[in-house]
Structure 1
Amino acid sequence: MSHSFSRFCAVLLGLVTCLALAADPFKLEDIRIEGLQRVEPGTVLANLPFRVGDTYTDEKGAVAIRRLFDLGLFNDVKLTAEGNVIKVQVQERPTIALVDFLGTVEFDKQALSKSLTDIGLSIGRPYDKSLADRAEQELKRQYINKGYYSAQVVATVTPAEKNQVLLTFNVVEGDIAKISKVQINGASAFKQQELLELFNLTEPNWLTWYTRNDRYSQVKLNSDLEALKSFYLARGYLEFAVDSTQVTISPDKQKITISISITEGRRYVVSDIVMDGNFLGQDKPFQSAIKFSAGQVYNAELVTETVKAFQDLFGDFGYAFSRVTPVTDLDRASGLVKVSLRAEPGRRVYVRKIVLSGNSRTRDEVIRREFRQTEASWYDGQRVRLSRDRLNRLGYFTSVSIDPQEVAGTPDQVDLMVKVEEKPTGALQVGAGFSSAEKLFLSAGISQDNFFGSGNYLGVQINTSRYNTMYSIETTDPYFTKDGVSRTYFLNHKLSRPYTVDLGSYSLVTQSLGLKFGLPIAETDKIFVGVMTEMTEIRTGDNMPKTYTDYINDYGSKSRALPLSVGWSRDRRDSYLAPTKGYMTRINSDVSTFGDVKYARLTAQYQLYYPVAPKLTLGLNTELGYGKGMDNKPFPIFKNYFSGGLSSVRGYSQGSIGPTTTATNSATGATTTVYVGGSKMFLMNLEMITPMPGSGNDKTLRLFAFLDAGAAFSDSQTINFSDLRYSTGIGLSWISPVGPLKFGWAQPFNSKTGDKIDRIQFQIGSAF
């Protein structure tokens, strides 16, 4: 018997009882309530259609019973008349004292409790059998959404003292159902495999343990169908349609088959492009913004890009609410399509004010100083987009949206509604990593990118490995002046040991304290100017190579330098961690003319990322370094460049490409080659990067093939391409939960006698 039917019977019984005790109307002298335990008397009285002093009738009694039952707080309600007094007798429903889950592994218990709270079932609420049944179905639905089609959920109710119940959901999750086959029917223009590569959902493969893309999800399927439709529309198939999708589960509920039926239709070629509507007398810039041309196969992606470009242009002219509609006129007989771009610019608008929301920690001024669109000025779409991009580059927010909102009563004015979603900008890091070069390294640090919401950066880092130990403190005020000049203080201590295990106990200690300013000269360009004091000590030890001895003879075991630095950077990459397009250029020079050590050092770097296909990126990295000593003294060894290793020329050991010296074992007289780096360096890395096959749209896991070239050179050498070391190979990069992971297998070539080959290299964690 269903709960609703039971409730109906209870109400009916109450009404029958009320009718059985029917009495003539009378003036009510008192109302007595019996049976309450947790419900307040006022709750009952507030739902009675009569008060003391009113005339009581049987009709009012029937209304009272219905109202009290509708509260959902009582199992039984009775009204009885004793003289001129009405007695309200209720039996409260038991309340839920505990909600527990047994047998759950896939879901966190707290998440399950929240999902039940959303449907009205939680601790402290009255127990309702129908709600418990609904909770069972809700839990089953969640398991089905995760692919557990055989999951069983049974609610157990245990009475407890004080009219309470303990509610336990016993779960048998079963095995997860996997996709055994995905079939597309009706495709003839493209191969089945080519179409299936568009899908996130896939049959099990060697990577689905990580991606879980072999688990069925209706949301993922809908996304895949949209990707399939976009694929056809981008290739001229305007009449493409998904006719049906059929998802079949095997009798044992372990396998899922997905069958998709499609109609491709005819492929269309653009015959004509017509601009229709009001283009503000600026037809030429709009014509230049069209991304496709007559004679080309129709491409919906290019049409969408054109619509967006038109809307951006209207926005640049101050029209925030323009409408651009592409209309296609198909000639099915000839396979031609005429495309009309209909434009309605609307009204030019003025920005009244900028309204911020979502920044509970970040101060308003930190956001407002990034805006290039100002209040009390004409709306400028280009400045609005630039403002949004600048906010995104801060790194304080997971999302930023800027939407114009019309001001009521003034259609020519808008408010810019800026909504940000803040992310934690502080980090306490304690970790470890491993690399083939440095073996085990440990790290600890605390940093805050948005210190107390001011936009300032504060960081303290400690890193230690087999060869290097480094401590650093750095703080940056990105708006030291209102014009956006940044100021950075930094303090570093670094101890470096030789890169070869058995070379002895000597080491190089460098301590530096500096101040640097960054001056913006464009939206993505900055000039850096800084000064630093740097103290260096060579701690002598066993088997110290001649190069270090020569340095001590020139400068002493302890020396000081006061370099001035000037640099310039431009970063127009679309992402810092996993770029797919754009470029970055960086040039930095250090000149030390004061102190014991005098030298000049110039370093330049250029990175380019170019998308050669939807899931294939060409990456180029080039670096050039040049150093020179002054006052007829050699370039200081602690400023040398090194080449070789996972972040340089792969396939060669860390720092092993370039000038060498020898160290003699004082006990045995044996000599060992020591890699000391050089005053010049050239590096080039060429990569073809693609998401890992089977990982869908996951950009954190990428596969790449590479070609590297590079070397370091001494003062007496010139950079000669015949002396460069080369390597080619494949690699894997993964931004994993424990930190960045990088793996590479390389085949060196053009190697020289004495080069140290290290074909397999890897690193887990952050590099120094």
Structure 2
Amino acid sequence: MPPASGSQPGSLQPGAQQQTFVISDIRIDGLQRISPGVMFSLLPVSIGDTMQPGMTGPIIRAVTESGYFEEVEVAREGDVLLLTVLERPSVSEINIEGNRVLQTEDILENMASAEIVEGGIFTRATLEAIRQGIQEVYSSRGRYGTTVDIEVIEQPRNRVAIDMTVNEGEESRIKDVNLVGNTTYGEEELTELMDLGTRPWYLPFSRRDRYSREQLSGDIERVTSYYLDNGFARFNVDSTPVTITPDNEQIYITINVSEGQQYEISRVDLVGDLVNAEALLRAYTLVGPGQTYSQALITASEEYMTQILGNLGYAFATVEGVPTINDDEQTVEVIFYVEPGARTYVNRINYRGNVATADEVLRREMRQLESAPASSQQIELSKIRLERLGYFSTVEVDTVEVPGTSDQIDVEFDVEEQSFGSISFSVGSGGGGDWFVSTDLQAENFLGTGRTVAVGLNRSYFQSSARFAYVDPYFTPDGVSRGFNVFLQKQDSPFNIASFSTTSYGASLNFSYPISEVQSIGYNIGYTHTELSSGGLSVQEIESTPRLGPNDRYLIRPANNNPWEGPVMDAVTAPISSLPEQYRGLPSEPGFIDKYGTTFDNFTFTTNYVYSTLNRGQLATRGTQHQLAFEITVPGSDLQYYRATYTGEYFKPIYGDDWVFHVKTNLGFGNGYGNTDDMPFFQNFFAGGLAYNGVVRGYDENSLGPRSTDPRTISPQQAGLLKDDNGNIILTPGGSASYDGTVAYPTVPVFDSNGQPVLDADGNQQVQLAVETFNLNRRDRDSFGGNVLTTLTAEVLFPLPFVQDRGGVRSSVFLDVGNVFSSSCSASQQRLGCSNFDAGELRYSAGVGVTYLSPFGPLTFYLAAPLKKGENDRTKTFDFTIGAGF
């Protein structure tokens, strides 16, 4: 409602200000969005109050300071107080276009901090401040040409829409960084400390020359720290003018410094309450008299002493090193002020986030105990032990003061569970009618108990097996673990391995004893019954061929039972023993089965040592691990052999926590002893692809190392005709005869190197058995493995872009090196390249790999190229595995 005729805005009617009256009613005109209740709450007067002269001003101020109204008028109609208001418009929508460097969410958040939001009240003055603020942010990032155009569009019902168009312009480039006042250190040495600078010619895509105010501040801090850490206690950066060319394209940065003189430390002392630990605190003081002053060493000393006090139970201790500078003598006196505070005790240890894992599983890893003095070292060690379990993707710890106390804290562990096993079921068929059914459960934290349970049933064209394994890592309260394993398995040779089959069953019992926080030693006692089969046509190293009996004969002249092909006559044969040995085709060396048979009962004893400082149980990023194992069959076993293996890993962060250098090596050696000459071939090591403990990606799985020798065969022929009791051939009415079932081996003539027939002692042409080599390589399973394993992997782990869960995904660029060798190559294997360890025979590959901790277990993929390929090597550029990570 417009103001009353003759009234002035913001005032009562003429003369009303001099009048006193009791307010009988208050009427408000002009409200649209603001409720009358809100309006009445703003007024300093109410119905029934007496209106005094001079109260108009306070009423207007109270209403306008709310920010809801553009104008307020106060008038009187009789005893009624009349207020007429004009509301500020509300913001119906905010539209932003053209921004790429700054996210829309960041701009809206900045506007919200100034109370300009959709549905809020609109003020032009605040909007202009926002425009200038956005331009300043862009300028701080080197975009001095940025403009921000804002259009306010009026809409019905006293609303406005804000359209903001950002023209970010081009980034200004740093043309030169100039340091002025530095004499001790050269400009090149100092600019190497800085992130900002001119772009190197050899890095065309470098962003080093993109200006950022925050980066410049960080560079100044680094230069300052460099001087302070080298004794220049009075060093100062006087000014850092930044100039830009008129076209906003080039930036020149000048850093004016005052170096001052280099100072030495004259005295170091500790004051305060040293809690009877002065000697220990002084041992961790890294500065001393006569040393060049270093602020970094003072800060490190503060941190060490604070940590020492924390380990002694003073969780809220503070240590501050205060330097006192003597300019006349150019020395610095450093006094460390120690404030331990009250000794702190742990009230409760609480856990959050362990939905599936029982509290007891976490609590038994604690090295910090409840009701004991709080030790930062023990709390951190407890956190590390939880991370090493492998059950959690993240583990965070915090200490919280107990309300109402000054000497008690609660320790809060916040964990995030991850996949700690694998569960799978699959059924299908392959080429040629091969089929498989596979079920497998591998639970490292079975039902949240911390125990490992593995159950597997598998049926495929090369394996049928059943197994059950169980491990209790806390069989005793002090951390002795116990486990057992039982299995039944029938297996043909795995992929790329020489043909054979085994049927085996057995069981084992194992214990592991912790000998320190990072070391353990284990023992395993096992029994295995194995039945070995060569499949009837084996490689020479498993069973030598051809196999001839003492009564076998060879053909001198074959039989003829068909009268149409000549006279019917019996075969002429002779015992093979009458052939000279060199013409019998006998194998030069016996195979494994020839020497040891096909059935074995073996009792094994295994001991292993583990040293691990890895920060995680899965996909570690820092620390070291060494695993050494020695297995031997006890005397009295059918096969006597031993195997020693070593696995070592090392992780070192090289840039933050996401870029990590990793090296891993696997070494193995085995041999026979006693009545067994060599390690059994089915215990051989293999390498290639993602083979267990023999990882050399870029080559087919298990394909590297010694090859097996193809078997040799000779096909017998029908050699005798049916005869009557008088020894005469029985003829049919048609004149033909039938074979009697006897066989003999065919022969071929022998010729010398000149192609001339070789004659026997009687002058007849010498013959030899017609032995042929049978090629088993139809399914690419001709690797034989060896008793010497050497592999090495060096890789750089890096984060994948757009992946938030860095703890569950690992990507890397890698170089793999390795091979398998044999210390007992057969003569035929040597012709195929088999040898003892030879560095020249190592294989190399390079590529990229990714491991993902899926809910069904680790998934590992790789893409690799072999860098060295032997004549018989088989390569594989891409492969993946489910259920095993690397």
- TM-score over 0.5 for the alignment? yes
Question: Residue type of the partner of 2:532?
Answer: D
Task: Map residues 549-628 of structure 1 onto 2, 5 A cutoff.
Answer: 549=500, 554-555=532-533, 569-573=610-614, 582-587=623-628, 603-608=645-650, 621-626=664-669
Question: Residue type of the partner of 1:243?
Answer: D
Question: Residue type of the partner of 2:647?
Answer: Q
The answer to whether residue 452 in structure 2 is matched with residue 487 in structure 1 is yes
Counterpart residue number, 2:88: 93
Task: Map residues 245-324 of structure 1 onto 2, 5 A cutoff.
Answer: 245-268=240-263, 273-275=268-270, 279-291=274-286, 297-324=292-319
Counterpart residue number, 1:351: 345
Label 1:78 to 1:610 Cα distance change in 2 as closer, same or farther (>3 A): closer
Is the CA contact 2:69–2:88 (under 8 Å) kept in the aligned structure 1? yes
2:485 paired residue among 516, 531, 549: 531
The answer to whether residue 230 in structure 2 is matched with residue 185 in structure 1 is no
SS in 1 for 2:248: coil
1:658 paired residue among 705, 710, 715: 705
Counterpart residue number, 1:415: 409
* CA shift for structure 1 position 369: 6.0
SS in 2 for 1:548: coil
Is the CA contact 1:588–1:603 (under 8 Å) kept in the aligned structure 2? yes
Q: Select between 656-665 and 561-570 the one with higher mean Cα deviation.
A: 561-570
Counterpart residue number, 1:476: 444
- Higher Cα radius of gyration: 2
Question: Residue type of the partner of 1:712?
Answer: V
Provide the C-alpha distance between the structure 2 equivalents of 1:210 and 1:57, rounded to a whole number of angstroms.
75
Is the CA contact 2:644–2:669 (under 8 Å) kept in the aligned structure 1? yes
SS in 1 for 2:452: strand
Q: Number of aligned residue pairs: give it.
A: 689
Is the CA contact 1:529–1:566 (under 8 Å) kept in the aligned structure 2? no
Is the CA contact 1:182–1:259 (under 8 Å) kept in the aligned structure 2? yes
Label 1:75 to 1:567 Cα distance change in 2 as closer, same or farther (>3 A): farther
Task: Map residues 46-85 of structure 1 onto 2, 5 A cutoff.
Answer: 46-85=41-80
Provide the C-alpha distance between the structure 1 equivalents of 2:411 and 2:117, rounded to a whole number of angstroms.
37
Counterpart residue number, 1:713: 821
* CA shift for structure 1 position 652: 7.4
Provide the C-alpha distance between the structure 2 equivalents of 1:602 and 1:95, rounded to a whole number of angstroms.
79
Provide the C-alpha distance between the structure 2 equivalents of 1:472 and 1:209, rounded to a whole number of angstroms.
52
Deviations 1:421-461 (A, max 9, x none): x77x6xxxxxxxxxxxxxxxxxxxxxx44xxxxxx767779
Label 1:240 to 1:516 Cα distance change in 2 as closer, same or farther (>3 A): farther
1:217 paired residue among 207, 212, 228: 212
2:398 paired residue among 402, 423, 432: 402
SS in 1 for 2:9: helix
Provide the C-alpha distance between the structure 2 equivalents of 1:66 and 1:676, rounded to a whole number of angstroms.
96
Provide the C-alpha distance between the structure 2 equivalents of 1:265 and 1:494, rounded to a whole number of angstroms.
80
Provide the C-alpha distance between the structure 2 equivalents of 1:71 and 1:508, rounded to a whole number of angstroms.
82
Is the CA contact 1:703–1:730 (under 8 Å) kept in the aligned structure 2? no
The answer to whether residue 686 in structure 2 is matched with residue 641 in structure 1 is yes
Is the CA contact 1:663–1:672 (under 8 Å) kept in the aligned structure 2? no
* CA shift for structure 1 position 330: 5.8
1:196 paired residue among 191, 198, 223: 191
Is the CA contact 1:662–1:671 (under 8 Å) kept in the aligned structure 2? no
Provide the C-alpha distance between the structure 1 equivalents of 2:497 and 2:651, rounded to a whole number of angstroms.
43
Deviations 1:495-534 (A, max 9, x none): 9xxxxxxxxxxx8668775545363799999968453647
SS in 2 for 1:140: helix
* CA shift for structure 1 position 42: 0.6
Segments of 5+ residues of structure 1 without an aligned counterpart are 1-11, 426-447, 450-455, 496-506, 692-697
Is the CA contact 1:649–1:727 (under 8 Å) kept in the aligned structure 2? no
* CA shift for structure 1 position 63: 2.1
Is the CA contact 1:531–1:565 (under 8 Å) kept in the aligned structure 2? no
Counterpart residue number, 1:436: none
Is the CA contact 1:404–1:416 (under 8 Å) kept in the aligned structure 2? yes
Q: Select between 394-403 and 137-146 the one with higher mean Cα deviation.
A: 394-403
* CA shift for structure 1 position 403: 4.2
Provide the C-alpha distance between the structure 1 equivalents of 2:298 and 2:687, rounded to a whole number of angstroms.
50
* CA shift for structure 1 position 139: 3.0
Provide the C-alpha distance between the structure 1 equivalents of 2:173 and 2:158, rounded to a whole number of angstroms.
45
* CA shift for structure 1 position 613: 13
* CA shift for structure 1 position 120: 0.9
Counterpart residue number, 2:498: 547
Is the CA contact 1:701–1:732 (under 8 Å) kept in the aligned structure 2? no
Q: Select between 231-240 and 120-129 the one with higher mean Cα deviation.
A: 231-240
Higher strand share: 1
Label 1:360 to 1:240 Cα distance change in 2 as closer, same or farther (>3 A): farther
Question: Residue type of the partner of 1:554?
Answer: L
- Computed over aligned residues only, the root mean square deviation of the Cα atoms, in angstroms, reads 5.9
Question: Residue type of the partner of 2:72?
Answer: V
Provide the C-alpha distance between the structure 1 equivalents of 2:91 and 2:255, rounded to a whole number of angstroms.
46
Question: Residue type of the partner of 2:706?
Answer: P
Question: Residue type of the partner of 1:140?
Answer: Q
Is the CA contact 1:512–1:534 (under 8 Å) kept in the aligned structure 2? yes
Question: Residue type of the partner of 1:342?
Answer: F
Label 1:177 to 1:674 Cα distance change in 2 as closer, same or farther (>3 A): farther
* CA shift for structure 1 position 90: 2.1
Task: Return the TM-score normalized by structure 2.
Answer: 0.62
Deviations 1:568-627 (A, max 9, x none): 64432468999896422234689999xxx9998764312346799999999754322356
Deviations 1:384-415 (A, max 9, x none): 3323444666785868453464865x55x232
Provide the C-alpha distance between the structure 2 equivalents of 1:404 and 1:583, rounded to a whole number of angstroms.
32
Counterpart residue number, 1:722: 838
* CA shift for structure 1 position 41: 0.7
